[in-house]
Amino acid sequence: GENVEQHPSTLSVQEGDSAVIKCTYSDSASNYFPWYKQELGKRPQLIIDIRSNVGEKKDQRIAVTLNKTAKHFSLHITETQPEDSAVYFCAASSPSGGSYIPTFGRGTSLIVHP
Amino acid sequence: EAGVVQSPRYKIIEKKQPVAFWCNPISGHNTLYWYLQNLGQGPELLIRYENEEAVDDSQLPKDRFSAERLKGVDSTLKIQPAELGDSAVYLCASSLNKGSEQFFGPGTRLTVL
């Protein structure tokens, strides 16, 4: 099955700095890579996603890059703000067997200091 | 549009007691997921439904866990009997179909004493 590794587990930055979270996956058939933000005690919410036919996607201060050859993808947040503080999860979804079940990373706790 | 609804939000029970969680997905979403999320970890899939059919249930501990989605809409996840290690957040999610964006419910935080 798919295995997703996520680093770092904790990331502390100053407001205005950039933050980068990296994930690797094992199943070369995976073709959908969503990123979720989960604030304390709340539900995970999709913030951006990318499919394997695209190398990069950007939405305002958030961008995701995908390197299919190396099987890794990254989340980039620029001009971080205190409200960006949350746990971020990456996931990789493989169509193998028709499942499309996402396998999640263990999460990165992002702390943005004012 | 209403999001995914789950109840209860919190549940405290003693070990060996039964417990049930309820999920109402977004209207029109054919695919429904139940996840388990332990503290400090990402969600782990327990079971996925395509309409009323349960698929991808290999991670569901079938000796104590059961789930149903009788009319292909609401779903119930049951644990009987609960064990201390079942303490976690149980998340329900739905999507229009498999492979499309998942929307999560607020989760049910279960504490087994």
Q: Tell me: the pLDDT tens digits for A40-96?
A: 889 999 999 999 888 999 999 999 999 999 999 999 999 999 999 999 999 998 876
Say if residue B33's pLDDT is above 80. yes
List the Cα angle B12/B17/B19 in 5-degree steps.
65
Q: Output the DSSP codes for A48-103.
A: EEEETT-SEEEETTEEEEEETTTTEEEEEE-S--GGG-EEEEEEEEE-GGG--EEE
| Contact B23/A at CB under 8 A | no
Tokens of B43: 């969600």
The answer, for B41 touching chain A at a CB cutoff of 8 Å, is yes
CA-CA distance, A37 to A13, in Å (whole number)?
17
Question: If contacts are CB pairs under 8 Å, which of residues 47-86 in chain A contact chain B?
Answer: 49
The mean pLDDT value of chain A amounts to 93
For B33, B48, B69, the CA distances from B28, given in Å and listed in that order, are: 14, 16, 14
User: At A101, is the pLDDT very low, low, confident or very high (cuts 50, 70, 90)?
Assistant: confident
Q: Which amino acid is at A60?
A: Q
